[in-house]
Structures are given as C-alpha cells and as structure tokens.
C-alpha cells in the first residue's frame, strides 16, 4: 500500500485515535506490519502529533505471524491494567500465511481475558481465506471477531470510528 491509499489509511488511523482520546482512561498501541511488525506506540495516552510522526510507510511482504505476536505480547505486557476492552483494529491490503502458533497463544488466554478482546479485520482482499480462518478460530475461542473483506481504504475512517464509538466498547471515564 502506498501513495494516496497509505495517506488515507494513516489519516483514518489518526482520526480514530482522536476519537479514542475523548476518553481520558483510554490507551492506544499501534503496530505497523509488513514482513516484520513493529510496535510504534505502546499502550499510551493518545498524542496525535507524536503518533503522526511515528506512523510511517514501510513496504514489503505481508506477515500476519509477527503482527499477531506483537499484539499478543502487548496484551500480556499490559494485562494487569484495568482495561475493560482490548480492541484490535487490523487492516491489510495483502494476504499472509496462517499464524497458527500466534493465534493459539490468544486461544490459551484465560476466558475472562479472551472475553475482553475484540478483533476487527478489514482487508482489500476479496477472498481472505487466512483472515477468515483467524476470525473463525477467535470466535470459537470466545474472542469476538469480525471480518470485512473487499474493503476500501476510503471506508476505514468511518468503520473504525463506529467501532471505537460503540457504547459497549467505551471505557468508563
């Protein structure tokens, strides 16, 4: 993803963070991934200017394994905080291998912790077999998940804003 699509994805992410920042108790983490994943924001109060500088384009193959491993690592690292929900907003324009080990780690979390996780996958892929497998595995393990395929980056801002604005996903202020 590059050019206008990348700019739109970044803008959508920042807009979503602005919505999240309306809740003083909310924290955000950002993982950018291609063939490798990197945590660029680690469970912090939203600082739009800082996030805008950190979210930068990096091209390469799509590797879901590293992305889900980093997400899992963040959940474990911050599990003792009193978060009511963990929203994973996942967007990709590519396909990757099924991250079996990484998904298995999520399914082994205590039930109470799994019940607080929500995975929302959006992809430009019309037939995202791997992501559908991930969503199915999460749902069968009591991790609420959904997949939007054939998804346009132009719709990302609206979709993510709706997710973080849902009453049942808000943290108590």
pLDDT the model gives residue 172: 43
pLDDT the model gives residue 163: 86
pLDDT the model gives residue 55: 80
> Measured in whole angstroms, how far is the alpha carbon of residue 25 from the centre of its chain?
19
Q: What is the pTM of this model?
A: 0.87
Q: What is the pLDDT of residues 57-100, one digit of tens each?
A: 666 678 899 999 999 999 999 887 667 888 898 988 778 899 99
Residue 67 — φ and ψ, nearest 5°? -65, -45
Cα–Cα distances in angstroms (integers) from residue 76 to residues 43, 72, 86, 105, 106, in the given order: 12, 6, 11, 10, 10
136 within 8 A of 143, measured Cβ to Cβ: no
Residues in the chain: 173
Extents of the domains making up the chain: 4-169
Domain 4-169 CATH superfamily? von Willebrand factor, type A domain (3.40.50.410)
């Amino acid at each position: 993803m590059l050019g206008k699509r990348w700019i739109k994805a970044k803008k959508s992410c920042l807009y979503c963070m602005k919505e999240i920042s309306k809740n003083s108790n909310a924290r955000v983490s950002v993982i950018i991934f291609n063939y490798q994943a990197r945590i660029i924001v680690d469970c912090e109060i939203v600082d739009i200017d800082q996030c805008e500088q950190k979210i930068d384009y990096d091209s390469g193959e799509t590797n879901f394994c590293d992305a889900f491993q980093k997400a899992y690592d963040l959940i474990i690292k911050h599990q003792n905080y009193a978060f009511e929900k963990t929203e994973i907003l996942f967007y990709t324009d590519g396909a990757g291998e099924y991250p079996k080990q990484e998904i298995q780690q999520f399914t082994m979390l205590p039930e109470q912790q799994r019940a607080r996780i929500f995975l929302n996958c959006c992809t430009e892929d019309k037939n995202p077999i791997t992501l559908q497998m991930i969503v199915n595995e999460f749902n069968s393990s009591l991790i609420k998940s959904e997949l939007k395929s054939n998804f346009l980056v132009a719709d990302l801002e609206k979709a993510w804003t709706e997710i973080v604005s849902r009453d049942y996903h808000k943290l108590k202020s």
